[in-house]
Structure 1
Amino acid sequence: MSQRINYIQQSPELFKKFLEFSNLLKESAIEESVRDLVSIRASQLNGCAFCLDMHVKEAKIHGERELRIHHLPAWRESTLFAPRERAALAWTEVLTKLPEQGVPDDIYERVRTQFSEKELSDLTYDIMAINAWNRVNVAFRTVPGSADKAYGLDKANLT
């Protein structure tokens, strides 16, 4: 696979502002481990190899267990995820693959039992961001692993 265009070079100011937005999410009310799971799951759903590669490496650096990463596509059947994580994954899936009829009340209610209004708002912004990153990287075929050194992801020791 080869990259179509380098969107960072073509739109440096937009990239800089969006990166700033994404970096602000690290200070949100959502814990790092949940943000990692959300980023991996959305990237799986969107078929974004670049983001999937990046966020699996980040999760490993952050201490995530490999088995949990392997279980993400089957999180509903897995016993490895806490109720809060399950709610975040359900919210990620419904916002990533928006149904025609909108977000079902039962999913919203399940998420509201696990997250405060502030947390749910922050989680939603996190999901918005990863979906946007997925779309730009899928569109322009960003090569997985191509930014490892720049982002310190080589420390994950995954090849």
Structure 2
Amino acid sequence: MSRIPPTPIDAMSSRTRADCAALAAYGPFQNWAGIAAQSPVVLHHVTEMLVNMRAETALPRRVIELAMVTVSQLNACDYCLSHHVPSLKVTGLSPEGVERLLEAENTELEARDKSVVRYARAVTERSGRMRDAEVSDLRQWFDEGQIVELTWRIALGGAFNRFNDALQIEAEEPLATDVA
């Protein structure tokens, strides 16, 4: 059970209800939205950011999902894993490949995939102690704008992990297969 109760729909302002609807169109995040609605400004700006980032992303879906699952596995965030693992499977990774995502010798990952996983791990575990080579390694597949977006998504994934775990937000059913 979540540590904070969801906001009842009838207690929401029209803008907050609209934000919940926008987030529902983004994916099955009604539990998250109900709790975030306790702070309408949080719900509003997070929803706006997620919707805009999905619409304007410069990254392939597989890259985004590899990064999100890596971060969520490292942080053991069940909520985020429940949403991003199905999406990563849609991009072609088997259930076994997802389980072995953090293993360097995962044969289901191409060189670009492994670079994304290594980078997500570095940003998550030691962002202030990374080597320049860890960013340079990405340049064979991504331009600087894509690297900035990837870094932001990794850091944001970690923030979501902490938020969801701290408030013990329960995963929705059915699980998402369309998250970016």
TM superposition score category, shorter chain reference? 0.7 to 0.9
1:111 is aligned to 138
Q: Does 1:24 align with 2:41?
A: no
Q: Do the aligned partners of 1:3 and 1:141 also contact (CA within 8 Å) in 2?
A: yes
Question: Greater CA deviation, 12-21 or 42-51?
Answer: 12-21
- In structure 2, the residue matched to 1:8 is 36
Aligned to 2:173: 148
Q: Which residue of 2 is the match for residue 139 of structure 1?
A: 166
Q: Which moved more, 1:45-54 or 1:6-15?
A: 6-15
Shift of 1:133: 0.9
Aligned to 1:95: 123
Whole-angstrom CA distance in 2 between matches of 1:141 and 1:128: 20
Q: Which has the higher contact order (CA 8 A, sep 6+)?
A: 1
Cα RMSD over matched residues? 2.2
Which one has a bigger Cα radius of gyration?
A: 2
Other structure's SS at 1:119 match:
helix
- Asked if the contact 1:25–1:126 (Cα under 8 Å) also holds between the matched residues in 2, the reply is no
User: Under a length normalisation based on structure 1, what TM-score does the superposition of the two structures give?
Assistant: 0.81
Question: Equivalent residue for 2:88?
Answer: 59
User: Where in structure 1 are there 5+ consecutive unaligned residues?
Assistant: none
Deviation at 1:63, TM superposition (A): 5.0
Match for 1:82 among 93, 101, 110? 110
- Point out 4+ residue stretches in structure 1 off by more than 6 angstroms: none
Aligned length: 148
- Determine the structure 2 residue equivalent to 1:46: 75
1:61 CA drift (Å): 4.6
Q: Give the TM-score of the pair, scaled to structure 2.
A: 0.72
Matches within 5 A, 1:115-126: 115-126=142-153
Q: Identity of paired residues, percent?
A: 26
Unaligned runs of 5+ in 2: 6-34
Tell me the distance in 2 between the aligned counterparts of 1:108 and 1:30. Answer: 16
1:42–1:93 CA contact under 8 A, matched in 2: yes
